Structure 1
Amino acid sequence: MVIFRTRPENITPTPRFKTLEISNPAYESNNLRFITVKTPNLKGRGDICVYVPPGTGPNDTLPIVILLHGVYGSAWSWPLSSGVHINAHELIEKGQLPPMIIAMPSDGMWGDGSAFLPLDGYNFEKWIAEDVPDAIIETIRGANSQSPLFIAGLSMGGFGALRIGAKYGHKFRAIAGHSSMTSLPQIKFFVEESLKHYAQDNITDEDVFETFLKYRKQLPPVRFDCGVNDLLINYNRALHKKMDNEGMLHQYVENAGGHEWSYWATHIIHTLKFFACYL
């Protein structure tokens, strides 16, 4: 069963997913809707919360921004902990941001956090890089194969966004991270699962900088920031220095604040404006 509630039949693409359901617009609020989709990459279902600008027409092509949450969170984390959809909507209404779709998926709900990696027979990386954009295109008016794609995240989600954004650099216009883990061992600060469960066959996949080096020729524009009181600040400074030494163009900013939602709620807007520069 495939359930569509937002697209006219004449523009619905050929469904890729066997089962997919989207919330009824009659019961949505603040321009948020929810998608649940079944995919082999998760061996089951995954959730996506989506902000859709009102007034989107059937012939519009809007950019799609994917925001990845940190450990312990899920598809609700960005909108209901930061109000990103409300702030973005206000800026769009004022003409300070272009209309954009903001897709906020779960990480696959493995343990305290999947790190958006392939592990234990699940492919949480492909869930984000392939399934999420395809599900948005199948269900959301204004999303299509020509929609520019962007990806950002916080903490574990910053690790996922920067690494996936580089590895799939042919798909993304620009990438960003906030208070990002820059290498897999840093996940030990947040989760109770053993690091051995996260180990990758290719050690390059465990480190943002090594991934940047490997996919340097397709690396999209990069922005990342971190609070000066964040436990990950020195790792972010080290990534910035390594990129500088390699002559990799990027934006790096340090701000007041720590590893907290008040920081991310403020600075995600800078990332959205950064992405708007590449439209």
Structure 2
Amino acid sequence: MRIHLNHLNMIYPTGKQALKDISLMLESPSLIGLVGPNGAGKSTLMKLLVAGLLPTGGEITVDGVPLPKYEKTLKGKLGYLPQDFGLYDELTIWEFLDYMAALKGIRDSGKAIERAIAATGLEEKKKARIRTLSGGQRQRVGIAQALLGEPEFLIFDEPTVGLDPEERIRFRNFFSQTAQDKLVLLSTHIIEDVQSVCDRLIVIDRGKILFTGRPEELILRARGHVGVLLEQAGDGKESALHIISRVNTAEGVLCRGVAEVLPQEARSVEPTLEDAYLYLITQEGKTQ
């Protein structure tokens, strides 16, 4: 599957411009991480990809066909977990997934439901009513419904919210395995989730694409712009950095931050993907 976004713009009736001249190519198989601050335009972009919204400018094509003409076919190949996904509390997990399978027109729904339940580790809870589930279990039900029918294109919006660390690791591995023969778009603000599994990263802020490429390419951009120094009371030298973290040590409070030019007192360190992401966002903010 090949999805081409060509000079997309999205302006809401309120006048807010959510996306500004977005051009991207998404191809399977791949696992793509979509990251950006709250309000960056991630959710709007995903709604356009599933034809939940129509752009006010530009177009989306799927395998060369304009999305409005391909929409019915795409729905049969799509699995989508939006950030605000509603569940029917009085249904059991099995009943809910059976209902979702019927909406998707899935034949032999029993086998499809069993596969989705097994993939999300819900076997022991499949007869439980959704209202009895924990937040993490409810999130897994949302992931399970997206997996029904083994879709070719999967979109997950903040899929690991509410999951404990062990569950997050499990699902990161699952997403990686799933992307071996599918196109998977993973939208999240948890940089750790994309650092470990995504082969491509898209950074968006204020409706614009700031970066698209491999995670290590973004890390290289930040090399020489990440440093640490001890916080000294009253000297204010650490204010030259955009502080990422403060850690108590035997010598004092160690500040880690990013800057276009590191202060002399700072010791340069190898950036992480989170460092590189924050460096990109802060530098872009200074140009606005």
| Larger relative strand fraction | 2
For the criterion TM > 0.5, the same-fold answer is no
Which structure has the higher relative contact order (CA within 8 Å, separation 6+)? 2
User: What is the TM-score with the length of structure 2 in the denominator?
Assistant: 0.28
Task: Please say which structure displays the higher CA radius of gyration.
Answer: 2
